[in-house]
Structure 1
Amino acid sequence: MVTPIKPGTDNQPSGDYTEVGPRGGTVPNARQVHIDQGDRLPPTQKSGNQWVKK
């Protein structure tokens, strides 16, 4: 299982990230974002949610 990453974390590998719940579960209407090398992960829709790399 992939470890979820908190929003606002920077220096993550570039690629596509999907929003997950606080314990790594799926969330309805999950956001999917693409970041480039050195970019910061954006805020999630709900406090406590995190990001995982696809």
Structure 2
Amino acid sequence: MAKTFRPGEEAPRSGQYEQLGPRGGPTGEERTVVRGEPLPPTPKPDMSYRLVDRTKHRSGR
């Protein structure tokens, strides 16, 4: 299972983060977040995020 992150935590990597519902199911909503920035608030309590698509850089990292 992929690691989940709470709103307000620093994003460990840049990319698309999917919002997960209170019971862990996908909501279909994604947010683009830059590494080191806090994850945005969610519309309901007990929701979280999961990294679904890392940003690809020209350097290949």
Residue 47 of structure 1: aligned partner: 45
Aligned length: 52
Give the TM-score normalised by structure 1.
0.80
Structure 2: how far apart are the matches of 1:37 and 1:26? 22
- Superposed CA deviations along residues 5-49 of structure 1, whole A, max 9, x for unmatched, are 11000142111001002332123xx43111112111000111000
Q: Does the Cα contact within 8 Å between 1:12 and 1:40 map onto a contact in 2?
A: no
TM-score with structure 2 setting the length: 0.72
Q: Percent identity?
A: 33
Kept in 1, the 8 Å contact 2:11–2:33? The answer is no
Q: Which amino acid aligns with 1:4?
A: T
SS in structure 2 at match of 1:32:
strand
Equivalent residue for 2:57? Answer: none
C-alpha distance 47-21 of structure 1, shift in aligned 2 (>3 A):
same
| Structure with more strand by fraction | 2
| Aligned-CA RMSD value | 1.4
> Equivalents in 2 of 1:23, 1:16: separation in Å?
20
